[in-house]
Structure 1
Amino acid sequence: MLQFSINQQIFFSEYYEKNLYLQRNAFVSDISWKEVNRALHVMQMAPSYIQIHDGKSLIPEDEYKENHVHAGIHTTRLNQESLYARLREGATLIVDKMDSVSLPVKRYCDFISQFTGQPVVANGYAAFGEKESFGNHWDTHDVFAVQLIGRKRWRIYSPTFLLPMPDQKSRDHKQDCPAEPIFDDYLNAGDVLYIPRGWWHTAIPSNEETFHIAVGVHPARTVHYATWICQQLLPNFLPSRYSLTPFSEDQSALEKIADHFRELLLDPEKLTEFKKAITEYNRIKPEFALQSLAD
C-alpha cells in the first residue's frame, strides 16, 4: 500500500492547503487494465459516471453511449467501438467515483482518507494519446494524483484564487492562470502528487498508455460549521423563529440572534460535537466479508 516519507503532522503543518507534495515510489501498483475493464463493466449500470473529454470539452454522451434493452428493461450502455475510436483520437476516458466499484482503488482511497482524516472520492483517467485531459484548471477540493499505469506529465501553477468552494469554478477565471508553471514533470507508476485546491494544473498524456486516479479530499469547511449551527442549534433560540413581515420590527431580534449565534459558534464544545458528527458520518466503510458468516 501507499507509503509517505512524512507523517500527518508534517503534512498538515507544511503542505495541506499550502504547498505541493510529491512522493516518488510511494507504492507498487497492483492495478492493470484488467481491473479498469472490470470497473467499466460494472459502471455500465450507472453510465452517467462515465465521460470522455477531448482536451477541449466533454464529448456529448450520445456519441459513445447507446440505448439498450435487456430482459425487457430499457437502459443505456457504452458503445465500445465509439469509445475506442475516441480514445484512439487522443481523448481521455473519465470514470467517476471509481472507488465505489473497484476494491483496489478503494484501498488506495482508504489509506488517503485515514492519512488526512477526511472522506475521499476517486475518479479514474485513462488515455492513450497526447491531448490534455482538461486544460489548465483548478479543483475546488484537494487532490492526490495517484499514477497507476504508465506515466503522465503534470504542470502546476500558483493559485490566483485561494481555497475555492464548490461553486467557485476556474472556468470563470481562465485568464488569471499564470503563464509559467512552478512544477513541470512526469509522474510514473507508483508516484503520488498532492495538489491543494485552487492551484492551477493540467495533466498531459505522452502518446502512450496511462491511467491515474485523482483522489479528491472533501472535508467540512468552516462555513459548514456555521450552517450546522444555524440549522441544528439556532432554532432553539426563540428570536430566530420570529416571522419577518412588512410590519415587524426586526432589528432588535436580529441583534439578539447575532449575539447568540456568536456565542454558539465560539463554543469549543459545539465545535467538538460538530466534528464528532462529521467523523461518524464519514467513517470508512469496511469491505464486505460474507465468508465470515460461514465461520
Structure 2
Amino acid sequence: MLDAASWAARLGGESFLTQTLHRSYAVFPGKAAAVVGLLSWDDLNAILATQRLEPPRLRLSLDGEAVPHSRYTVPMTNRRAVTWHRTLPADLHAQLAGGASLVVDSIDTMHPPIGSAAEGLERFVGTPVQVNAYASWTEREGFGTHWDDHDVVVVQMHGSKRWKLYGSTRTAPTFRDLEAPEEPQGEPLADLVLTAGDVLYLPRGCWHAVSADQGTESLHLTFGLVTHTGAELLSWVVDQLRSRLALRLDVPRFGSPPEQAAFVGELREALAVELADPDLVCRWAESMDTTHFGRAVPSLPYVNGVPARAEVSVRLTAPRARLTENRSEGTVTLAAAGTEWDFTQQATPMLRALLTGQPATLGSLAATADLEVKDVASLVSVLVEGQAASVVRTAL
C-alpha cells in the first residue's frame, strides 16, 4: 500500500473515484499482512522519544476534550533558551490507561514508509494528503461524536477499533462555513469494527464516534484528503482573470449607482465568460497538479548537480506532474512544481519512467531512452534545480 497502483487496487480503482469519493462511506476488508512495515509500535515509540512534538502536533483527547499537555509533558530549555515539551513516558501511560486517545499529526513527514504511502494515495486521488496516527486503549471515546471537514481514508494498523457512523446532517460542510451541522439524533447508521488491514473511507461531514474495541490497544492511521470546493475553484478563476482591467480597478465605493452597476456588470461578464468554458474543471485540475510541489527532498551531497554515474538513483518528487508530447515539434513538455521544461522527444520514455514516482538509476533511465548517462544526469539536474526531483540513494 505504498504506490498509486496499490491504492487503486485496494480502494476499487476508477469506480471508487467516480462512485464513492465525496459521496458515501465504504469499508474495504483486508489482512494484517497488507500493512506490515507501515507503522509498528516500536516505530511510534521511537517517534515519541526522538521528535520534538510540540502540542497540538502531539496531543491527548478524552471524552471530546483536550488533555492539558502539562499532565504528560514537561518543559525543557537548552542553553540557547529554546524551550520544548518533553514527553514523560510514565505520565503518558497513565493518561492513556485512563481512557485518553493519543494523536500524532502529520506523521507522514516523520516516518518515510507512511510518507511514501501518502504520496501514493495523493497520486491516485489527485489531492494533497496528510496522515495522522491515533492510538487508544479503552472503550471510552477520545473525541466524542464529531465530523471532519475533509475526507479520510482510515487504515487499521494494530488491534481493532469500533466506529459508529451517523451520516451527515449538513451536505458538504466546510471549515469556513456559515452554518454548523446539527448533531445527529438516534442510533448510528452503521456500527463497524475494523481489524488490522481493514480500510474505511469517510466523506467529510459524516458524524462518527471511535473507540478501542473491547478495551484493547488499537492503532490506526487517517489519510486526510485536502478538500477542493467550488469556492476554491472560483478563487482560482479570479486569479486567472487578474489580467483583465475590470478586476484590477478599484471598487467604486463612492461612485454613483450607475457607476457601481456598470462596474459589477463588467465583473459579471468576465466571470460568465470564464465559467462558460466546458474545459474549466480540467484546466483547474491541470493547474493544481502541475503547480503542486509535493514532497520535495534535498539531494545532498550533490549541491552542484547530479553526478553522471550509472548507479545513482533518482525519483520525481512532484506527485502529479504532467507530460505532453509535441510530435509536430519533436519535443516533449514536462510540467511539475510550477515549472515547464521542454526536452527532445527522445527523452519521453525516460520521463514516463520518472512519472511513476519510483526510484530509477541513471543507467536504467539512459537505457530506456537510448541516451548517454551524462545526458540523463544533466536532464535530471535541471529537474532537481526546479524542485521536482531528487537523488534518493547511491550505491556504496
CA distance in 1: counterparts of 2:35 and 2:173, whole angstroms: 33
Q: CA deviation at 1:45?
A: 5.0
Question: Where does 1:249-268 land on structure 2 (aligned, <5 Å)?
Answer: 249-268=259-278
Structure 1 residue matching 2:82: 3-state secondary structure: strand
Give the structure 2 partner of residue 130 of structure 1. 139
Percent of aligned pairs sharing the same letter = 26
CA contact (8 A) 2:143 2:210 kept: yes
Structure 1 residue matching 2:222: 3-state secondary structure: strand
Give the structure 1 partner of residue 368 of structure 2. none
Q: CA deviation at 1:164?
A: 1.3
Q: CA deviation at 1:106?
A: 1.6
Q: CA deviation at 1:82?
A: 2.5
Instruction: Pick one of 59, 62, 71 that aligns with 1:63.
Output: 71
Instruction: Pick one of 237, 244, 250 that aligns with 2:244.
Output: 237
CA distance in 2: counterparts of 1:238 and 1:153, whole angstroms: 56
Deviations 1:150-204 (A, max 9, x none): 110011112111111123499x445x31312222121001110001111111111
Give the structure 1 partner of residue 169 of structure 2. 160
Instruction: Pick one of 100, 111, 114 that aligns with 1:105.
Output: 114
CA distance in 2: counterparts of 1:45 and 1:6, whole angstroms: 32
Instruction: Pick one of 144, 158, 181 that aligns with 1:149.
Output: 158
CA contact (8 A) 1:17 1:197 kept: yes
Q: Which moved more, 1:220-229 or 1:90-99?
A: 220-229
User: 2:216 matched to 1:208?
Assistant: yes
TM-score (norm 2): 0.67
Instruction: Pick one of 36, 44, 48 that aligns with 2:44.
Output: 36
Q: CA deviation at 1:285?
A: 2.6
Aligned in 2, Cα 1:194/1:266: closer, same or farther, shift over 3 Å?
same
Q: CA deviation at 1:258?
A: 0.4
Give the structure 2 partner of residue 88 of structure 1. 97
User: 2:24 matched to 1:24?
Assistant: no
The one-letter code sitting in structure 2 at the alignment partner of 1:122 is: V
CA contact (8 A) 2:161 2:210 kept: yes
Q: CA deviation at 1:238?
A: 1.8
User: 2:217 matched to 1:116?
Assistant: no
Give the structure 1 partner of residue 192 of structure 2. 185
Instruction: Pick one of 60, 64, 74 that aligns with 1:52.
Output: 60
Aligned in 2, Cα 1:60/1:281: closer, same or farther, shift over 3 Å?
farther
TM-score (norm 1): 0.89
CA-based RMSD of the aligned residues comes to: 2.5
Q: Which moved more, 1:143-152 or 1:29-38?
A: 29-38
Q: CA deviation at 1:5?
A: 5.1
* Structure with the greater alpha carbon radius of gyration: 2
CA contact (8 A) 2:55 2:69 kept: no
CA distance in 2: counterparts of 1:17 and 1:271, whole angstroms: 16
CA contact (8 A) 1:119 1:283 kept: no
Q: CA deviation at 1:269?
A: 5.2
Q: CA deviation at 1:85?
A: 1.6
Aligned in 2, Cα 1:194/1:6: closer, same or farther, shift over 3 Å?
closer
CA distance in 1: counterparts of 2:86 and 2:121, whole angstroms: 31
CA contact (8 A) 2:28 2:199 kept: yes
CA distance in 2: counterparts of 1:236 and 1:213, whole angstroms: 44
Structure 2 residue matching 1:235: 3-state secondary structure: coil
Structure 2 residue matching 1:236: 3-state secondary structure: coil
Give the structure 1 partner of residue 285 of structure 2. 275
Deviations 1:215-264 (A, max 9, x none): 1111422211111222x233322233133232342101101110111111
**Structure 2: runs of 5 or more not aligned:** 301-391
CA distance in 2: counterparts of 1:276 and 1:41, whole angstroms: 41
Q: CA deviation at 1:9?
A: 1.6
CA distance in 2: counterparts of 1:169 and 1:39, whole angstroms: 39
CA distance in 2: counterparts of 1:167 and 1:227, whole angstroms: 14
Aligned in 2, Cα 1:265/1:62: closer, same or farther, shift over 3 Å?
farther
